[in-house]
Amino acid sequence: MKLPARQRTTRDLKSLQRLMTATLMRPLTGTNRLQGRWTDGRTMKAVAESFIKPNDRLTSIERLQIYARCYWFRLIDSLYEDCPGLRAVLGDKKFLRLAEAYLARYPSRSFTLRNLCRRLEKFIREEPRLTAPHTALARDVVRFEWAQTVAFDGEELPPLTADDIADHPPTRLRLGLQPYLSLLALDHGADDFVIAVKKQSEVRTDASNTPTAAPHAAKLRHVPLPKPGRVYLAVHRHDTLLYYKRLEPAAYRILRSLQAGRTIVQAVAGVRGVEPDKLQAWFKNWVELGWLCRPG
């Protein structure tokens, strides 16, 4: 990529910004330095010198490296904060390797770091070697941790009222679920595991300061990895606090059906052997928790 000597247009500006972004988003070496070679075979030194001025204390590549480090330190720090469970599953070394590979393939596409983990489960599925032999557990844990992010600040619609269901026969009545509610069918008890790992929950926030050093997240408590076993979960919030609730398989299936837009009759018909009293108690509980709303 050759830059024009003078910048006259927005296209010229974009060329410069593309080049700098590409250099920053290239993974650093093990000693947190820019790699020696650029993608076209030129030295990184030559690439940096092509667009960044040196000064009397720092070379062009040293100045570029300050930004590259800030980029990687900031984003990996954010993953540390949002994924303590995954880190506990993999250990620091493997977690870091996964984080770098993830960010290299899926750079942030959002204005907020809140969404940084959105595609992490997909990436783990695509690259199972990076989490082997704990890939299934890693996926479960990441799904649970992302569900917590959604539950923390996801949208809340007005809860269902008696008026909403009046005059609707059950054969035609459809109910929505709150957008902040995630329903998970997991192969491990990721919920208890992550809660045990978290000593305290810090909320990640965006700011305009500059990170000074590589992430040095606090040591995590050692927690035995959970054994395989099917778990159905609802991750939600109540009065702004995060909760998770284990569900019976039939309850999970009914909620999933409602979420998929089926009528109450269709949702309930999809499960067998549930006593009417139990069904009634589930629905009562879901209404009390504010999970049900008008369909979107």
Partner 1 sequence: MPANRFNAFTDYGIGIGLRVPHYRHILDKKPVVDWFEIISENFMVDGGRPLEVLDRILEQYRVVQHGVSMYFGSADPLDRTHLKKLKTLVRRTKTPWLSDHLCWGSVDGNYTHDLLPMPYTFAAARRTADKIRQVRDYLEVPICVENVSSYAEFHVSEMTEWEFLSEVVELADCGILLDVNNIYVSAKNHGFNPYDYINGVPHDRVGQIHVAGHTKFEKYILDTHDHPVLDPVWKLYAHAVRLSGVTATLLEWDDKIPSFQEVHDEALKANEFIDGARAAKKPAPAAASR
Binding site for partner 1 (CB under 8 A): 3-14, 16-18, 20-21, 24-25, 50-53, 55-58, 60, 62-64, 66-67, 70-71, 74-75, 107-114, 151-156, 179-180, 202-203, 205-210, 212, 237, 240-241
**10 vs 205: CA distance, rounded Å:** 31
Comparison of 27 and 128: residue with beta carbon closer to partner 1: 27
Q: How far is CA 225 from the centre of its chain?
A: 21
Q: CB of residue 190 vs partner 1: minimum separation in angstroms?
A: 21
Q: CB of residue 67 vs partner 1: minimum separation in angstroms?
A: 7
Side chain identity at residue 288, one-letter code? E
> Do the beta carbons of residue 124 and residue 159 sit within 8 Å?
no
Closest to 26 measured CA to CA, from 13, 38, 14 = 38
Q: CB of residue 49 vs partner 1: minimum separation in angstroms?
A: 9
Compute the C-alpha angle 134/140/145, nearest 5°: 120
The single-letter DSSP state of residue 273 is S
Closest to 148 measured CA to CA, from 223, 225, 84 = 84
> What sign does the CA torsion over 102, 108, 109, 113 have?
positive
Closest to 146 measured CA to CA, from 85, 91, 199, 193 = 85
Comparison of 51 and 283: residue with beta carbon closer to partner 1: 51
Q: CB of residue 113 vs partner 1: minimum separation in angstroms?
A: 6
Comparison of 90 and 150: residue with beta carbon closer to partner 1: 150
For residue 273, is it left (φ>0), alpha (ψ between -120 and 50) or beta?
Answer: left
Comparison of 171 and 205: residue with beta carbon closer to partner 1: 205
Q: Integer distance in angstroms from the first to the last C-alpha of the chain?
A: 47
> Do the beta carbons of residue 124 and residue 131 sit within 8 Å?
yes
Residue 139, phi then psi, degrees to nearest 5:
-65, -45
Q: CB of residue 207 vs partner 1: minimum separation in angstroms?
A: 4
Comparison of 29 and 209: residue with beta carbon closer to partner 1: 209
Q: CB of residue 245 vs partner 1: minimum separation in angstroms?
A: 17
Comparison of 63 and 262: residue with beta carbon closer to partner 1: 63
Comparison of 185 and 195: residue with beta carbon closer to partner 1: 195
Q: CB of residue 174 vs partner 1: minimum separation in angstroms?
A: 22
